[in-house]
Amino acid sequence: MMEVKCPECHSMVAAEDGSDFVVCPVCGADLDITEIEEGVTLVSLRKEEGERKKKKLVPLDDSVAEDYMKWQMAAVIAVLIGVVGILLLAMSMAQEIMQFGFYFLQQPRYAVLSSLVMLVSLGFIVGGIVLYRYVRKEITSYEDRLN
Interaction between residue 26 and Zn ion (CB under 5 A):
yes
CA 22 to CA 29: how far, in whole Å?
9
Query: Which of 9/87 has CB closer to Zn ion?
Result: 9
Smallest gap from Cβ 28 to Zn ion, in A, equals 7
CB of residue 17 to Zn ion, shortest distance in Å: 20
22 binds Zn ion (CB under 5 A): no
Question: Residues 91, 131: contact at Cβ < 8 Å?
Answer: no
Per-residue x/- track, 100-139, Zn ion (CB under 5 A)? ----------------------------------------
Residues 6+ apart with CB under 8 A from 1: 14, 15, 16, 17
CB-neighbour burial class of residue 141 (10 A; exposed 0-12, middle 13-18, buried 19+): exposed
Q: Do the beta carbons of residue 26 and residue 8 sit within 8 Å?
A: no
Nearest to 2 by CA among 44, 43, 50, 30: 43
Taking CB under 5 A as the rule, does residue 9 contact Zn ion?
yes
Regarding 78 and contact with Zn ion (CB under 5 A), the answer is: no
Task: Kindly state whether residue 14 participates in binding Zn ion, applying the rule CB under 5 A.
Answer: no
Closest contact distance (angstroms) between CB of 60 and Zn ion is: 20
d(Cα 107, Cα 62) in Å, to the nearest integer?
Answer: 54
**Contact present, 128 and 85 (Cβ < 8 Å):** no
How near is the Cβ of 142 to Zn ion at its closest, in Å? 31
Pick the piece of the chain touching Zn ion (CB under 5 A) from 17-25, 42-50, 58-66, 136-144.
17-25
Of 23 and 65, CB closest to Zn ion? 23
Name the site residues for Zn ion (rule: CB under 5 A): 6, 8-9, 24, 26-27, 29
